[in-house]
Structure 1
Amino acid sequence: MKQILLCLLLMLFSTQLSAEKYIVGAQNIGYYPHYDFSASEDKGVGWAILEAFSAHSGHEFIYLSMPIRRLQLELLKGHVDFVYPDNPGWYNQVTKNTDKYFSSPLTNAITGTFVPKDNTGNSMERIKRIAMPLGFTPVNWQQQVDNKQTKLVWVSDIEAGMWLVQKGRVDAIDLETHVATHISKNVNGLAPLTLDLTLPHNEIPF
């Protein structure tokens, strides 16, 4: 039977069904305000919506935070019922989109290329090294990467990636706008980065 995959809305479940317990496999990266399943209290918008549904329906959700690649492996093995977040446009070598069901998205995220304020307006050719959250699909930069014009620098921590930009160790970071704003406001000494609209950016639902 095909696994049901979360991007999410769980309207597939009738509130009249008997209460069930479901395991949600979640990315183990802090991407607040969208999600941060390592947080002790507020785990982000995705978690809040799931918890609201849980309270309304009686269904219980157990959250397991793990690396992105492992999420797909555990889904394939049947060890988790849902994966959050996910998107048909994201690449992985483990599962096929034809073997998964995607729900309607919970939110639309504006993702783009963030650079220091003084470095806006440069061409793509000037971006030689770009920080990317580990396991993410470089949708906006895939062609540049494939052509070896831009090198990906994987980071397991978003804040660390933003520091790399500020220190000049990479030219930019591929990031969601609300996430960038949240980190900039809450980390002392980290200067706000600017979303350069002349560089690749897009809207991604999940």
Structure 2
Amino acid sequence: MFGILGSANAIAERFIVGAQNLSYFPHYDFESDVDKGVGWAILEAFSDVSGHEFIYVDLPIRRLQMELMKGNVDFVYPDNDRWYNSITSTKDKSFSLPLTHAVTGTIVKKKKAGKGLTAIKNLAMPLGFTPVNWQERVNNGDTLLTSVKDVPQGFALLQQEKVDALDLEYHVAQYSTATLPQYDDVTLDLTLPHNEVSFCISTLAHQDIIDELNGFITSNPELIKEIRARYAITPLSELFDTLVSEQQLAPNEVWTNTVPSAE
């Protein structure tokens, strides 16, 4: 039996979750009618226990915070209290515990791994994402940013060598190359920017539901672990040694993050 903290008299309600309209599976794909990804699976498990119903509306990334501010959506996913946007303030929002952890990074063709930042003259990135770790190089004209409408387009540009790298989450890259085997000669380059980032759900008006959700997550660690494992979500700490060995890197060659991750 699943445990959950919160009021025994809590009333089951219906809420709208605004979600990024990018296919970013296994983390999320809210256009899917079958499986919307690991974050959705955890919210649905919470729904089963709490009785709350979540309706998912996929929206362009740049509209999510605006619709939250307008009250047209109750929650935004994914969100993170370290991400900046010009619409809502972190201090005004409530954030859940992480539903999952993403390993955001820079994907290159294996033959070009290990060459460092200066080798990346053109970087592909999903439309709506912000290149925080690359911003200085973009501003200086050292790296040109190419926005792509979806992940397959990014891989196609990388394969054709029209870009040098693709800013993409590790597990998304793994899933994509499994379903698009023509693009399987790529790797997460540890000499380039990479971070482990929490994917949380946020709200402006429903702190009580966030508290319930956090209680559910805290009370059911094995269930949360099982759901994440079902989607093959692996912590960076477990991936690191394998990638270092594959890329034959010395410790001082691995990129060190000094900038917060951003949306």
TM-score (normalizing by structure 1): 0.90
5 Å matches for 1:159-170?
Answer: 159-170=152-163
Q: Number of aligned residue pairs: give it.
A: 196
Give the letter for the 1:81 counterpart: D
Give the distance between the partners of 2:54 and 2:5, measured in 1 at CA: 15
Residue equivalent to 2:110: 117
Residue equivalent to 2:182: 189
Give the letter for the 2:157 counterpart: L
Distance 1:14-1:148 versus aligned 2 partners, 3 A rule: farther
Residue equivalent to 2:22: 29
Q: Which of 86, 108, 112 is equivalent to 2:101?
A: 108
Local SS of the residue matching 2:182: coil
Report the alpha carbon displacement of residue 153 of structure 1 after superposing the two structures with TM. 0.8
Report the alpha carbon displacement of residue 15 of structure 1 after superposing the two structures with TM. 5.8
Give the distance between the partners of 1:134 and 1:46, measured in 2 at CA: 21
1:108–1:204 CA contact under 8 A, matched in 2: yes
Larger of the two Rg values belongs to structure: 2
Distance 1:116-1:17 versus aligned 2 partners, 3 A rule: same
Residue equivalent to 2:49: 56
1:201 has 2:191 as partner: no
Give the distance between the partners of 2:90 and 2:60, measured in 1 at CA: 19
Residue equivalent to 1:79: 72
Residue equivalent to 2:127: 134
Local SS of the residue matching 1:47: helix
Report the alpha carbon displacement of residue 155 of structure 1 after superposing the two structures with TM. 1.1
Report the alpha carbon displacement of residue 51 of structure 1 after superposing the two structures with TM. 0.6
Local SS of the residue matching 1:19: coil
Distance 1:147-1:81 versus aligned 2 partners, 3 A rule: same
Residue equivalent to 2:239: none
Give the letter for the 2:180 counterpart: V
Give the distance between the partners of 1:143 and 1:89, measured in 2 at CA: 18
Report the alpha carbon displacement of residue 188 of structure 1 after superposing the two structures with TM. 4.2
Give the letter for the 2:81 counterpart: P
1:23–1:80 CA contact under 8 A, matched in 2: yes
Give the distance between the partners of 1:146 and 1:90, measured in 2 at CA: 19
Give the distance between the partners of 1:104 and 1:133, measured in 2 at CA: 25
Local SS of the residue matching 2:128: coil
Distance 1:12-1:171 versus aligned 2 partners, 3 A rule: farther
Report the alpha carbon displacement of residue 173 of structure 1 after superposing the two structures with TM. 0.5
Task: List gaps (5 residues or longer) in structure 1.
Answer: 1-10
Give the distance between the partners of 2:56 and 2:102, measured in 1 at CA: 22
Residue equivalent to 2:138: 145
Give the distance between the partners of 1:15 and 1:62, measured in 2 at CA: 23
1:133–1:155 CA contact under 8 A, matched in 2: yes
Local SS of the residue matching 1:165: helix
Report the alpha carbon displacement of residue 95 of structure 1 after superposing the two structures with TM. 1.6
CA RMSD between the two structures: 1.5
Give the distance between the partners of 1:193 and 1:58, measured in 2 at CA: 43
1:107–1:205 CA contact under 8 A, matched in 2: yes
Residue equivalent to 2:10: 17
1:110–1:176 CA contact under 8 A, matched in 2: yes
Distance 1:115-1:187 versus aligned 2 partners, 3 A rule: same
Local SS of the residue matching 1:108: strand
Local SS of the residue matching 1:85: strand
* Identity, % of aligned positions: 59
